[in-house]
Amino acid sequence: MSFKILITDPLSDMGIEFLEKSGLEVIYKPNVEKTEIDECLEYIDGWIIRSGTKISKENILDAKKLQIIGRAGVGTDNIDIESATQSGVVVMNVPDGNTISAAEHTIAMMLSLSRNIQLGHMSLVQGAWNRHKLVGNELRDKILGVVGLGKIGREVIKRALSFDMKIVGYDPYVTQDSFDESEVKVISLNELIKTSDYITLHVPINDATRNLFNLEQMKQMKKTSKIINVARGGIINENDLTLALNDNIISGAALDVYENEPLDKDSGLLNAKNILLTPHLGASTFEAKEGVSLGVCKQIVEFFCNDKLLNALNIPVSDPSIMKKMLPYYKLSEKIGLILSQLSSTAVKEVEVVCYGNASDSKSISLVVLKSILSGMIDQRVNMVNADIVAKERNIKFSHTYNNKEVKFLSLVKCIVKTENEILQISGSVFDENHLRIVNVMGFDIDLNPSGAMLFVVNKDMPGVIGNIGSLLGDYNINIAEYLLGRIDNDAVAYGIVKLDSRVDKNILDSILQLDEVLSAKQVLVDEFR
C-alpha cells in the first residue's frame, strides 16, 4: 500500500528523495493557494509543514485518512493539536533541528544590539559618521537572564559563558540540580527580571507564556537592560514593548518573531527606538533547513514503514529510548485488550489497568489496552492519541495506576473490564524481554501464549468435559494445539482455554454451546487469525 504525503511548505530535496526512496508517494505543493490544498485533503495519509502552513480543525476533519502531521522544526502553534488529538492524528516535530541555529542567532542579536551594529550600518549608509553616538557595551561580566532552560536555552548559556557573562535562569520545570551553580544560578522569574542586563526568551507560546513580558514586567527591568526574543511571537506584548522603548523604560530589544507574521506594516515596532528586527531567521541556516527537512522525513518513514513514533507531541511517551523499552508491554497490552473486547458481550462501562514491576509507564501501557478494547468494538479510528477521549465520549470510566507492590513476576499488566452485566479480568507479563504471556484469566493462574485462534470456555466442573469438547472438534477436523484448565467458584465451575490450529465457524461454536456441561464458549482470534 502506498501512503500519500502532502508537503505544503518548502522542504529540502534530500528529504523529499528520502520519502520517495522509502516507497511513499509525495505530493509537493509549497506555497500554493488554500483551495489547492483543500483538494488534496481527502486522500492524504501524512502532512508535512513548516511555519508557513496553518492546519485548522476544519483541515483535520476534512482529511479523513490523515494519520500524522510532521512539523519540520520545533514550534507547533500553527497546528490545532487539540483537534488532531481528538481525531487520532499524531503530531510530531523535530525538536533538535533548529537548536544550534536559534542559539547562534540569539547570540548574534545580543552582540548586534550591544554594539549598535544595526544603527552603525544604517548611519553609514546614510552618509553619517556617528562613532561618538554609537558607543556600545561589552558582554563581559553582564548578567544574562535565560527564560526557558531547554535545549536552545542551554546552548545559549554555553556560548554566553565563553563571553564571561554571569548567567541566571528561570524555568518552572527545572531546578538548580540541573546546573553547576558557579555557572548558572536558577532563580525566580521576578528576580531574573530585576537583576538581568540582558533577557533572552526560549519558551513555547501557550496560555502561560502569552504576554509573559508586558509593560508591568518591563518596568521592573533595569533601565539599561535589553530583551531578545528568538522563540515565539506573542511572548512579549508588542505594544507594551514599543512604549517601553520609546519612553526609555528599557534600553533596547531584538526580535526575530512576531505575533503576526509577516510583521504588520503599521506595527509600532518598526519605528521604535533602539530596536533590532529580523524576519524570523532563527532557523534560517542551510544546516538547520537541511536538518529539519531530513529529520521530519525520516520520522514519517519510521511511522509508516516501521510503526515507530519519534518525537510525537500528543501521545504520553515519545522518547525513543522509553518507547523501545516499553514496546514489549505495548504488544502485550494490545493482545490483552483485543482478547477482552472479544470476551465482552455487553457494553463496556469501565476499564481499569494496574501495572507492576518493569511495566513502569502505566499511562502509555493502559492507553494501548484501552485503544485495543475500543478498536474491537467501534467503527472509528482509535489509537494512543485519542483513546481516552473516545472512551470519555462513550461514558466509559478509564483509570490506570502503577503499583510498586512486589508480585511474583518481574512485570505485570492487569486489566479489569466492567460491562453492564459482567466483570472480566486478565493479567499478562513479559518474560525475557520479548516473550508475551497471559498469566491469569478470571482469577486462575495459567501460562498462555496469546496468539492464534482460541476458545474461552466456562463449563461445569465434572468428568468428561475435555473429552467431549475434543471429540466434537475432532468431528469437524479441528486440531487442538493446547488445552489449559483452571477451576473457579469453589470448584463448581471450571474455565478452559483451548488453543486451536484453525478458527471455528459459528456452527461449530453453536455445537459446543449445545453440550450440557458447557455454560459459555467464545472464540478469540489474535494475530494472523484476525
Q: pLDDT tens digits, residue range 29-76? A: 998 888 899 999 999 999 999 988 999 999 999 999 999 999 998 878
Pick the more confident residue, 48 or 1.
Answer: 48
- Which CATH superfamily hosts domain 4-95+288-306? NAD(P)-binding Rossmann-like Domain (3.40.50.720)
pTM beyond 0.85? no
Q: What is the pLDDT, as a whole number, of residue 318? A: 54
Backbone torsions φ then ψ of 405, nearest 5 degrees: -60, 140
CATH 3.30.1330.90 residue ranges of the chain are 315-449
pLDDT at 307 over 80: no
The three grid cell numbers given for residue 317, joined into one nine-digit string: 511517551
Of 20, 261, 287, 393, which residue is the catalytic one? 261
Structure confidence at residue 349 (pLDDT) = 92
| pLDDT value of residue 320 | 59
Angle between helices 99-114 and 117-125 (to 10 degrees): 60
CATH architecture of 451-530: 2-Layer Sandwich (3.30)
Note the pLDDT of residue 75.
Answer: 79
Residue 36's CB is within 10 A of a number of other CB atoms, namely 10
Question: Where do the DSSP E strands lie in 41-123?
Answer: 46-49, 68-71, 90-93
Residues of the chain with CATH 3.30.70.260: 451-530
Mean pLDDT, the chain, rounded, equals 91
Residue 232 falls in the annotated catalytic set: yes
Highest-confidence segment of 19-33, 363-377, 476-490: 19-33
* Distance (Å, whole) CA 173 – CA 202: 13
Strand partners, 167: 144, 184
What is the CATH code for 99-277? 3.40.50.720
Options 280, 290, 352, 517, the catalytic residue: 280
The confidence band for 166, taking pLDDT boundaries of 50, 70 and 90, is very high
User: Active site includes 261?
Assistant: yes
Does 315-449 carry CATH code 3.30.1330.90? yes
For residue 60, give the H/E element and its range: helix 57-62
Residues of the chain with CATH 3.40.50.720: 4-95+288-306, 99-277
Which residue in the list 232, 238, 259, 400 is annotated as catalytic?
Answer: 232
Asked if 528 is an active-site residue, the reply is no
Backbone angles phi, psi at 153, to 5 degrees: -55, -40
Residues paired with residue 147 on neighbouring β-strands, in sequence order: 170, 201
Quick check: bond before 10 cis, omega within 30?
no
**Would you state the pLDDT for residue 373?**
92
**Least confident interval from 11-20, 343-352, 357-366, 484-493:** 484-493
For residue 394, what pLDDT band results from cuts at 50, 70 and 90? confident
The tens digit of pLDDT for each residue in 240-251 reads: 999 999 999 999
pLDDT at 155: 96
